[in-house]
Amino acid sequence: MTVPRRGYQGKADGPFYYPLDEAWGMAGQYATVEVREAMTFSCAHITPEETAAFLKKSALFHPHATAIKYVVHAVGDVVAQQHEEIDAEVRAQETLPEGTAVLAASLDGVNVLLNEKGKKTGRPAQRPGLTEPGETPTAYKNAMVGSISFYAPPTQPGQTPPRLACHYTARMPEDHARTFKTHFEAELDDAEALCPPGVTKMIILDRT
């Protein structure tokens, strides 16, 4: 469906004003809330290029990968600015899963290849007269992810305890992972506050 709209501009190099956009909350927006949700949800699982191909085959809206990246970055900026309010609202709705016997927390890192300069790794060249740059155009850096899981006791001997719920926290590379640690500790404090005294608490790490 195509909807015509009028645009008004005060001067040749000034911004445009679209009454229709203002009337239905789309001023300054590229896509509707539903379209933005679909694009960002898809990009949490696959790349923007793959999302564009997927939507072209399965949806009535066919954004370009560049437009999808723009929306993802815009939504990410809003979440970053309002993450405390968002986290508080989510936590207010969380309850202890019925039958919880164990609270398990775990965290680990993974090397992510980034499109930014980084220190060149490996041993320096030994041949006389051969010099190498101190930086490379791309670099691997450590991103962090943590999980907080609620388990019920096994119903039979030797059975894997059923996982009732799991909350994930993740963060792209940052020196010493300060933001991740602050967020993860807040999630863990909230999970512990939900648990009665009899719940077993454990942390799983591959190193200390």
pLDDT digits (tens, 9 = 90+) for 69-90: 999 999 999 988 998 899 889 9
- Which pLDDT does position 143 carry in this prediction? 93
Amino acid at 166: C
DSSP character string of 25-78: T-TT-SS-HHHHHHHHHHHTTS-HHHHHHHHHHH-S----HHHHHHHHHHHHHH
What is the model's pLDDT at position 127?
60
pLDDT above 80 for 146: yes
Average pLDDT, the chain: 89
pTM equals: 0.70
Name the nearest CA neighbour of 34 among 73, 57, 61, 52: 61
Q: What is the pLDDT of residues 162-178, one digit of tens each?
A: 999 999 999 989 888 99
pLDDT at 128: 56
Q: Please answer whether residues 101 and 151 qualify as being in contact, where contact means their C-beta atoms are separated by less than 8 angstroms.
A: yes
The pLDDT-based confidence of 130 (bands split at 50, 70, 90) is low
